């Protein structure tokens, strides 16, 4: 009988990360997570609490088979472009490199719909550059989840107008058909379920999922 893969989560204290921890326990999975503070839903999982500058050495010690990244911030939370890039690019690419060096075969990453290294929008450009550079590391399998507006109990201050958008999202989602379906809102729990689903797939390759596909994965 093959041993269960060792799964490591970063971004465990955010909305999607907390949902991953909760849904993993419901599925009977115990994960390891690496964070700067303890996660609310961390009970039943193995925690390593450390400053992000020390994460690569902890990843080397943990030697995960699969690394999940639900790490992300907003410009408002970060406070500046440099701080945002440090969180949404630097920390994650360093963790990805450390995991690959430690022998991880798979990475699953939460990005954003419209992410592109060629985007003019700084947020989408940063996300796109991370996707590009993680893909270049050569994991046996890479899954990139690109949700639209995330619904759920977000920690910290909301973005300007986000409350209105979340309230109106169900109405607008019905209007988003065809190519626009990729921009639909999606609940953080559905993203978490989808992330855990793809983490159990053994075939190799690089895969990307927009909001409409994420919804199908979580059914």
- Tens digit of pLDDT for each residue in 77-127? 888 999 999 999 999 999 999 999 999 999 999 999 999 999 999 999 999
| Model pTM score | 0.89
Is CATH 3.30.56.10 the classification given to domain 7-214? no
* pLDDT of 143 higher than 50: yes
Residue 176 and residue 206: Cα distance in Å, rounded?
26
- If one counts every other C-beta atom within 10 angstroms of the C-beta of residue 160, the result is 10
Q: Would the pLDDT of 184 be above 50?
A: yes
The answer to whether 211 and 184 have CB atoms below 8 angstroms apart is: yes
From the number of C-beta atoms within 10 Å of its C-beta (0-12, 13-18, 19+), residue 110 rates as buried
Q: What is the pLDDT of residues 56-70, one digit of tens each?
A: 999 999 999 999 999
Residue 205 φ/ψ region, left for φ over 0, alpha for ψ in the -120 to 50 degree band, beta for the rest: left
Q: What is the helix (H) or strand (E) element at residue 28, kind and residue range?
A: none
């Amino acid at each position: 009988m093959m041993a269960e893969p060792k799964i490591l989560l970063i971004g465990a204290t955010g909305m999607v990360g907390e949902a991953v921890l909760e849904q993993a326990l419901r599925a009977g999975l115990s994960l390891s997570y690496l964070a700067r503070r303890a996660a609310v839903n961390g009970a039943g999982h193995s925690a390593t609490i450390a400053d992000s500058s020390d994460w690569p050495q902890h990843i080397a010690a943990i030697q995960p088979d699969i690394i999940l990244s639900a790490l992300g911030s907003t410009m408002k939370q970060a406070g500046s472009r440099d701080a945002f890039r440090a969180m949404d690019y630097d920390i994650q690419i360093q963790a990805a490199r450390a995991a690959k060096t430690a022998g991880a075969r798979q990475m699953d990453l939460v990005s954003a719909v419209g992410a592109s290294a060629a985007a003019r929008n700084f947020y989408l450009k940063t996300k796109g550059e991370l996707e590009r550079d993680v893909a270049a590391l050569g994991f046996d399998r890479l899954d990139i989840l690109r949700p639209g507006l995330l619904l759920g109990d977000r920690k910290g201050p909301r973005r300007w107008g986000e409350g209105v958008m979340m309230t109106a999202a169900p109405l607008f989602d019905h209007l988003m058909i065809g190519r626009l379906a990729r921009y639909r809102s999606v609940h953080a729990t559905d993203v978490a379920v989808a992330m855990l689903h793809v983490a159990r797939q053994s075939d190799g390759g690089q895969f990307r999922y927009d909001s409409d596909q994420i919804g199908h994965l979580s059914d």
